[in-house]
Structure 1
Amino acid sequence: MLRAFVTALLLTLFAAQPALAAERVKDIGRFQGIRSNQLTGYGIVVGLPGSGDDNLEYTVQSMKGVTARFGFQLPPGINPSLKNSAVVMITAELPAFAKPGQRIDITVSSMGRAKSLRGGSLILTPLLGADGQIYAMAQGNLAVGGLGAEGADGSKIVVNVPSTGRIPDGATVERAVETGFATAPTLTFNLARADFTTAQRVAAVINGRFGTMRARAIDAVSVSVSAPPGADVRTMLMSDIENLTVDSAEAAARVIVNARTGTVVINSAVRVSPAAVTHGKLTVRIDEAQRVIQPAPFSQGETAVEQQSAIGVEEEVKPMFLLDPGPKLADVVKAVNAIGASPADLVAILEALKEAGALKAELVIL
C-alpha cells in the first residue's frame, strides 16, 4: 500500500514540473549489455602499384609470417623488396547480437611508409576483441577514396587520405558475444545523460504500463526492471519499454562558450537576476606624417624633414541597459543584441554577470 502511494505521489510531482517534449525511451538511453564491441587486427595488404612500405623491417617480418602459413620459408638473410605490400591495422565494430556467418564492414589503415593503398587486397587476417579472442576473419579488396601523385622533380599532390580504405562486408563473424540479457536477474536501462528526475520518470512510466514496482531508479543513470527469464519474453518486454514515451526533465541551466571560435550557446533554462550592464569601446589612434622644410633662397640653411604626429582618442558610447528580474533566454539575447556586442564581447559580459552573481547558470568554457 505504501509503495503504491509513493508511486502515485511521484507521478503527481513529475507531472507538475516543467518538461521537454515527450520522447521515446529508446531515444534517451539503452539497455545495459546491448552494445557493439571493437575489433582490431594486424595484417598485410598486397597488390599495390609500387606505393607500399618497401623494405621496412617489420613489413619483411610480417610477410615471412604470412608465407610461413603456407609452408614456404624465405631463405635466411634475404629481405625482398616489398614495394607492392604494406603493413596495416584493421578496425571494425561488432554489433550487438551479431551471429557467426554475418558480415561486417572494416577499415584498413597503413602503419608504415605506404603512400597509397589504392588497388590493394587484404590477406586473410583474424580480428581480435579486448579479451584476445578471435571474433571475425577479414579479407577482401580495398575501396580507397583518396589518391596521390608524384612528379620526377619531387612535386606531389594528395587528395583526401589514400593511406586508409574500407572493405564493405569485409569480415565474417566467427563468434557471438554473450550479452547475458536472457539470464541476468534484472534488466538495466541506462540513460545517455544522467538526471535523477528523468530516471524517476522512466521508472514511473514503466510501472504505469506493466504494474507497480516493476521498475525502480537505482541512481541518476540506471533504471532496474524486473523481468522473467527467457530470451523471447524479455525481447517482447524490452520492445514495449523502448516504445514508451516519457517527458525528459529540463536540462540544468548552462552557458557554453567556445573560446577558440567565439561560439556561445545558451539553453532555455538560463535566468538572470536584476543587473545593470554597460559596454563601451575605447580606441586610441596615432597618425604619423612627415613635412619637408626648405631653407630660404641664398641662405645657408639645409633642407630638413619634420615629424608631425596626430593623436586622437575615440570612445564609442553605448547606453547602459537593465536586465529585469528573471529574464528568459529571448530577453537576454535581445538585450545583448541591442548594444551590438560581438561574440567576444558577449563572453566578457557573461563572465562579468557570473562573477557578480547575476547569471543563474553554469558557465562552461571549451
Structure 2
Amino acid sequence: MLRRLVSAFLASFLTIVSVASGISPAYAARVRIKDIADFEGVRTNQLIGYGLVVGLHGTGDKLTNVLFTRETLVSMLNRLGVNIRANEIQLQTHDVAAVMVTADLPAFSHGGGRIDVTVSATGDATDLTGGTLLVTPLMAADGEVYAVAQGSLATNAFSAHGAAASIMHNIPTNGHIANGGVVEREVPLDMVDRKIQRLSLRNPDFTTATRVAEVINSTLGGHLARVEDPRTIELNLSNVDRMQTLYRIGDLLVEPDTLAKVVVDDASGTIVIGNDVRISTVAIAQGNLTIQVTETPQVSQPGPMSNGTTTIAPRTSINVNNGNNAKLGILRNGPALSDLVSGLNALGVGPRDMISILQAIKADGALQADMEVR
C-alpha cells in the first residue's frame, strides 16, 4: 500500500509540474547555446600546491610520525632565519599540518584577481578548523606558478569525542578559503584576432549540432556556422564584429536533442528516464515472495516451594506470501515519458521493483533506449 501511494504521488507530481509550466511531455525546452556549448580554448586550469597550516589546537600532524611535515617546518624556519637543525629531533608541536592546496584558475583571469582555494590534510592531522594557511605557490601542469594562496581556513565541520561515544559533522580535515588565492600569472588567450572560432557541445549529437548551426545562420545571416562533427560547430568570423557576434550567439535559443536513455541506481533505488524513451507492448506480472518470521517466546515458571527452574519455551510463527494476488498487466506502447510512468504506476510498482522490471524489459528487447545501471 505504501509503495502504491509513493508511486501515485510521483505520477501526480510529474503531471502537476507539466501542467503548471505549460510544457507538454513530448516538448523539449529551448535553452541558450552558451548553456550547452563552450567556445574552444575557453576553459579553467587546475592548480595545485603543497603548504603548511599553523595555529591548530593540538589537532595537527604528529611530527614523530609524519616526517615530511617536520622537514617542511624545519626548512621554512631556516629560510626565515631560525636554525633548529641541531635540535629538530626535539620538535613535538601538534599545531602544524602539511596540506595539499588545490584551485581552479578561470579563463580570462588577470594578475591580482582572487580565486577560491581548497585545503586538504596529507598527514595524520585530525582537524584543520581554526588554522591558517601559510604562503603557498600554486602551480599548473606546466610547472609554472600561476597563483599564491594564504589565509584562514573554514571547514564547516566539527567533531566531539568522549570515553564511550563520538560524533563528527562533515570532514574537519578539508577546508576552504574564499578568495584565498591571488593570481600571479595570466593564461594567454586571444579571441579578438581569431577568424575561425569553434563551438564544442557538452553532449555530442548530430541533431543538436545541426540545429545550433541553423539557428546561428538564420538569425545572424550568411553562412557563419558549419557542422564539423557531432561535437564541433565551426564559426567563420572573418567579416563580422567578433566579440559582438560571439555575445549574440551565446544568447540564441535552440532545442537540444537527447538520447533515449534510462539510468538506474540500484543502491538508492533512483530511476531517471529520458523524455524520448519508448517501450513496446509487453505483459508484466509483478509479485514478491514475502516471508515473515515472528518470535513470541513464553516463560514457564516453576511452582511455589519447588526445586524447579524457570525455562523459556520458544514459539515461532511463519507467514508466507508468494504474491498470488499479483496481476498480469499489459503495458502498451507509450508515446512519451508520462505514459511510461503512468503505465508502471498503474501496476502498483515501487521504485526498486521498477528497476527489475525495466531490466527485464530491456533484456526482452521491448525497451527502445539505452540503459545504464550504476
Normalising by the smaller structure, the TM-score range is 0.7 to 0.9
CA RMSD for the aligned pairs?
A: 3.1
- Deviation, 1:76, is 3.2
Counterpart CA distance in 2 for 1:239 and 1:346 is: 45
**Residue of structure 2 aligned with 1:222, choices 220, 232, 256:** 232
**Residue of structure 2 aligned with 1:73, choices 55, 68, 83:** 83
Deviates more, 1:215-224 or 1:76-85: 76-85
Q: Which residue of 2 aligns with 1:255?
A: 262
Counterpart CA distance in 1 for 2:211 and 2:284 is: 40
For the 8 Å contact 1:31–1:190, the answer to whether it is kept is: yes
- Deviation, 1:236, is 1.9
Q: Which residue of 2 aligns with 1:295?
A: none
The two structures have a TM-score, normalised by structure 2, of 0.79
Deviates more, 1:280-289 or 1:191-200: 280-289
- Deviation, 1:248, is 1.6
For the 8 Å contact 1:115–1:148, the answer to whether it is kept is: no
For the 8 Å contact 2:276–2:336, the answer to whether it is kept is: yes
Q: Which residue of 1 aligns with 2:96?
A: 85
Q: Which residue of 1 aligns with 2:5?
A: none
Does the residue aligned with 1:64 lie in a helix, a strand or coil? helix
Matched residues, number: 332
- Deviation, 1:87, is 0.8
For the 8 Å contact 1:321–1:335, the answer to whether it is kept is: no
- Deviation, 1:288, is 10
**Unpaired runs of at least 5, structure 1:** 1-17, 291-304
Sequence identity percentage: 38
**Residue of structure 1 aligned with 2:107, choices 96, 113, 123:** 96
Counterpart CA distance in 2 for 1:308 and 1:349 is: 34
Which amino acid is 1:129 matched to? A
Q: Give 1 or 2 for the bigger CA radius of gyration.
A: 1
Is 2:316 the partner of 1:344? no
Q: Which residue of 1 aligns with 2:328?
A: 320
Does the residue aligned with 2:348 lie in a helix, a strand or coil? coil
| CA-to-aligned-CA distance 1:150-199 (integer Å, 9 cap, x gap) | 55x58654333222222222111100011243344511111111111110
**Unpaired runs of at least 5, structure 2:** 1-25, 298-312
Counterpart CA distance in 2 for 1:337 and 1:326 is: 13
Counterpart CA distance in 1 for 2:156 and 2:316 is: 62
Q: Which residue of 2 aligns with 1:173?
A: 183
For the 8 Å contact 2:293–2:316, the answer to whether it is kept is: no
Q: Which residue of 1 aligns with 2:205?
A: 195
Deviates more, 1:315-324 or 1:62-71: 315-324
Counterpart CA distance in 2 for 1:279 and 1:147 is: 47
Q: Which residue of 1 aligns with 2:284?
A: 277
Which amino acid is 1:76 matched to? A
Q: Cα 1:225–1:274, aligned 2, differ >3 Å: closer, same or farther?
A: same
Q: Which has the higher strand share?
A: 1
Counterpart CA distance in 2 for 1:30 and 1:127 is: 26
Counterpart CA distance in 2 for 1:354 and 1:224 is: 38
Which amino acid is 1:143 matched to? A
